Amino acid sequence: MPDQITTGLTDAHRDLHAFIAGLPKAELHVHHVGSASPRIVSELAARHPDSRVPSDPEALVDYFTFTDFAHFIEVYLSVVDLIRTPEDVRLLTYEVARDLARQQVRYAELTITPFSSTRRGIDERGFMEAIEDARKAAEAEFGTVLRWCFDIPGEAGLESAEETVRLATDDRLRPEGLVSFGLGGPEIGVPRPQFKPYFDRAIAAGLRSVPHAGETTGPETVWDALTHLGAERIGHGTSSAQDPKLLAHLAENRIPLEVCPTSNIATRAVRTLEEHPIKEFVEAGVLVTINSDDPPMFGTDLNNEYAVAARLLRLDERGLAQLAHNAVDASFLDGPAKARIKEEIDTYTTTWLAP
């Protein structure tokens, strides 16, 4: 797959792809449905011929080409419509874990939008059991540890916020793997402060706050996420580069950005990779993590995002290993688990660089 994707890495850096492929990683910003592989999507589309989603993987590539963010959400929801039973949920989750494991992802916080599935008729208890079954199977069979982020589909409004925080905090439903609470969807016309009561309830229940902000709107949305939603990390935060005070605040308070370079190009949030503000983030001392967001939809995967970061930031192996460390440091893993993955990253890098 990565060979079909332009990272712009020259041949001299070809072996960096090999280094990245074996580098132990953590991923913090990757969506459940958005990670459905072309094979899974085409299999589900074949089960539901009434769907607009093509069942031919080739046709899917064109289908996943977006004119703007609103078009992306429209396509994203058409794939959500394919996930109709707990068995669909289990299959999808297990296969997403397999794809993560193939990229040496040791730990991932997968963003799930339960409201979008329960409102389409999936039984809520069946949904929770399905993701938990897949999570435990993935850990046992692939060695990849998954945790969940439940996010509010912003455009679906306060009804979806209420439903999402209920599913996330009701002890009869809340899945064991749930660690964080987010807010996704369009930002334009969806001001962050209205979601404060819901984030307050989620945080009071021990969940960590990780809303999207500054993806398709300005730095004020990132400030709102920090001020009103208690954000501990920011999904994207792309427009933070427009506000030096915000960059300084993120750096001084070690608030990580979940940067998804190719996503920002695919949704037209950023015009070209060369114009992506990731360099400004690093120069300002912001803790940058690299993520894929909705990899098959954006024609990418996590390894490719590391290769893009290597090119834009002119990184060598040690620089790439530092990006992997950043994701582990910014994760909600406990201390010993973080230390284990960081040790693995260092051993791998030292061995790779040994003469």
Ligand X SMILES: Nc1ncnc2c1ncn2[C@@H]1O[C@H](CCC(=O)c2cccc(C(=O)O)c2)[C@@H](O)[C@H]1O
Residues with a catalytic annotation lie at: 215
Whose structure tokens read 């300002």? 284
Closest CA to 26 of 283, 286, 333, 318: 333
Given 113, 238, 240, 303, the residue binding ligand X (CB under 6 A): 113
* Residues 129-168, interacting with ligand X (CB under 6 A): 151, 153-156
Between 1 and 156, CB nearer to ligand X? 156
R_g (Cα) of the chain, nearest Å: 19
Site map 312..341 versus ligand X, x via CB under 6 A: ------------------------------
Residue ranges of alpha helices (H) inside the chain are 14-22, 38-47, 57-63, 69-80, 86-102, 114-118, 124-142, 157-169, 196-204, 219-228, 244-252, 261-266, 278-283, 302-313, 317-330, 335-353
> Residue 293's beta-bridge partner residues?
30
Instruction: Compute CA distances 258 → 94, 171, 192, 331, whole Å.
Output: 23, 29, 18, 11
Given 215, 224, 232, 258, the residue binding ligand X (CB under 6 A): 215
Scanning 43-51, 86-94, 287-295, 323-331 for contacts with Zn ion by CB under 5 A, the matching segment is: 287-295
DSSP-derived 3-state class of residue 146: strand
Least CB distance to ligand X at residue 76 (A): 5
Q: Is 293 in the site for Zn ion (CB under 5 A)?
A: yes
Q: Is 119 in the site for ligand X (CB under 6 A)?
A: yes
Between 153 and 261, CB nearer to ligand X? 153
Scanning 5-13, 20-28, 291-299, 324-332 for contacts with Zn ion by CB under 5 A, the matching segment is: 291-299
Least CB distance to ligand X at residue 282 (A): 21
If contact means CB under 5 to 8 A according to the sort of partner, which of ligand X, Zn ion, none does residue 151 touch? Answer: ligand X
Q: How far apart are CA 198 and CA 72, in angstroms?
A: 26
DSSP-derived 3-state class of residue 259: strand
Site map 289..308 versus ligand X, x via CB under 6 A: ----xx--------------
Note whether 164 and 114 are within 8 A (CB).
Answer: yes
Between 195 and 348, CB nearer to ligand X? 195
Q: How far apart are CA 217 and CA 211, in angstroms?
A: 13
Site map 244..273 versus ligand X, x via CB under 6 A: -------------------x----------
Provide the binding-site residues for ligand X, judged by CB under 6 A.
Answer: 31, 34, 73, 76-77, 111, 113, 116, 119, 151, 153-156, 184-186, 212, 215, 263, 293-294
